[in-house]
Structures are given as C-alpha cells and as structure tokens.
C-alpha cells in the first residue's frame, strides 16, 4: 500500500541530488542546497493535503486562477511565488510530478537538468481517512478533548478556541493549555515554570520541552496510553492559575 506521502517522496527524491529533511514539522525537499518542495498536511488546521512548490509569481497566478480547486496561494511563502497543490482533490499525478520537476529546475544549475524528465509514478493505493488529515477527529482524540473540556470549561472565564489548528483553552484572552501533535502523538501543553520544567523533563520521559514556547516555562506531556487524568488536572489548573486574573482566581476559590 502506498500513501500520498510515499508518492510525493518518490517524485521529489527521484530527481538527482535531492534530499529530504524536516522543516517546521513537515517533510521538505531541497536540491543544490535550495528548497523546492514541502509536503504539507493540515497546516494550521486548513484540512489540506498539499505539495507546496517553489514557482514564479506568474506561474502561481496562472495556476490558481485557472484551477482554484487544485491550486492555492500558501501562507508565508505565497508572496514569493510558491504555489500549493491540493493532492486529494483529483489532480492527476503526472501533473503533480511535472510541476515538482519545474520547481526543481528552478533551483538547480542548468547543467543538472540536461536530458532529465519528470519522475513517472503510480497514484497512491491507500485512501486517506479524515483522521489521517485531522488527528483531532479520531475517536481517541475526541475522548481526550472531551475529558480536557470537562476540566477546563469548569474553570472561571475559560473559553475554547483553536491555535495553529489545534484545540486550546483560554483564561480570558490568554491561552493556558492546548493540544499538540508531535511525532504522531497527541500532547498536552501547559505552563509549569522553568524550575518545574527542568524537574519534569529530567526524570519523566512523558514530558519534553516544546519548541517556540518552551523557553517561557511550558512543557508538553504525552497523552499516549493511559495517562493519569489526576496529573493532567493538576497541570491544567497550575497553568490556569499562572494566567488567570485576580477576579478569576477569587471565583475559583469560592
């Protein structure tokens, strides 16, 4: 069984002198030291299975205007001419391979593409389920979210929202905990302070220091298996107390 990602890898790594690495959590492909493609899955909760390609502004405009069902302007890199291809909307894989080849040719020395042609591939054989695109719709994560709501929404002035596509909970206007996907696992992220962060991550493998927010005293707690909801409740309430206003804390004690 081949997945969409398997076919994307076959297309990109089938070209000379290419390599794959992870950037901002997504598989990324470069050649001659320059990035030409990124595989994007549900980026910030957009629901898209996409290949983001390094193209020109003119090509981006032509593709998006001619077939908006299949092509879009991606965030961040879009203003530079990059274009996104939606891979689960029926586009032919020969077309995907041709466009990836065009992006590759844009970044490599001309001599590297002499006599070269796009990689021939077969379509993926494994269909993606909704939970393969958005992990939070899976039965297990729905259960986790329900339990987390029971804890958070019973605290004063708490609202639920989303942050970069993941569920989060706010005390007033400040996020105090959220769910996060990391290496196929669902994590709870909460503030514990720098001292406790060091203690927790040093002696318990379920805790780690997350990127971006870890330097502010946050931890990520792996929710795989059968986590202790008593421990989770304590983490959540500690983080809430750090961000809550005085009136919220007073209401919590009443």
Q: Is the domain of 139 the same as that of 218?
A: yes
Q: Domain end: 100, 127, 154, which one?
A: 127
Q: Domain end: 127, 142, 174, which one?
A: 127
- Count of domains observed in the chain: 2
Res. 111 pLDDT band, cuts 50 70 90: confident
Q: Is the domain of 73 the same as that of 154?
A: no
Rounded Cα distance between 224 and 97, Å, is 37
Q: Is the domain of 55 the same as that of 143?
A: no
Q: Is the domain of 122 the same as that of 181?
A: no
- Domain range for 109 is 4-127
Decide: 206 and 222 in contact? Cβ < 8 Å: yes
Q: Is the domain of 139 the same as that of 122?
A: no
Q: Domain end: 127, 158, 190, which one?
A: 127
Q: Is the domain of 8 the same as that of 118?
A: yes
**Residue pLDDT, tens place only, 114-148:** 889 999 999 999 999 999 999 999 999 999 999 99
Decide: 86 and 69 in contact? Cβ < 8 Å: yes
* CATH number of the domain residue 80 falls in: 3.90.1150.30
pLDDT of amino acid 241: 97
Q: Is the domain of 181 the same as that of 248?
A: yes
Q: Is the domain of 190 the same as that of 105?
A: no
Q: Is the domain of 169 the same as that of 66?
A: no
**Residue pLDDT, tens place only, 30-53:** 999 999 999 999 999 999 999 999
Q: Is the domain of 42 the same as that of 150?
A: no
Q: Is the domain of 148 the same as that of 51?
A: no
């Amino acid at each position: 069984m081949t997945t969409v990602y398997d076919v994307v890898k076959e297309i990109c790594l089938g070209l000379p002198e290419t390599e794959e690495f992870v950037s901002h959590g997504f598989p990324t492909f470069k050649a001659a030291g320059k990035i030409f493609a990124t595989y994007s899955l549900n980026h910030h909760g957009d629901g898209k299975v996409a290949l983001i390609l390094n193209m020109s502004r003119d090509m981006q405009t032509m593709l998006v205007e001619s077939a908006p069902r299949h092509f879009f302007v991606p965030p961040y890199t879009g203003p530079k001419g990059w274009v996104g291809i939606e891979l689960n909307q029926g586009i032919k894989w020969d077309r995907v391979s041709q466009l990836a080849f065009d992006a590759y040719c844009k970044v490599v020395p001309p001599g590297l593409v002499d006599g070269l042609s796009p990689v021939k591939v077969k379509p993926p054989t494994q269909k993606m389920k909704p939970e393969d695109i958005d992990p939070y719709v899976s039965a297990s994560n729905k259960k986790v979210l329900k339990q987390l709501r029971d804890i958070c929404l019973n605290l004063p002035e708490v609202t639920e929202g989303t942050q970069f596509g993941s569920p989060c909970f706010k005390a007033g206007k400040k996020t105090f905990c959220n769910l996060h996907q990391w290496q196929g696992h669902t994590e709870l992220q909460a503030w514990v302070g720098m001292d406790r962060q060091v203690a927790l991550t040093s002696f318990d493998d379920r805790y780690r220091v997350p990127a971006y927010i870890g330097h502010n005293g946050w931890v990520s707690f792996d929710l795989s298996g059968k986590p202790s909801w008593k421990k989770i409740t304590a983490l959540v309430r500690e983080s809430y107390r750090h961000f809550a206003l005085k009136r919220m804390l007073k209401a919590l004690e009443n």
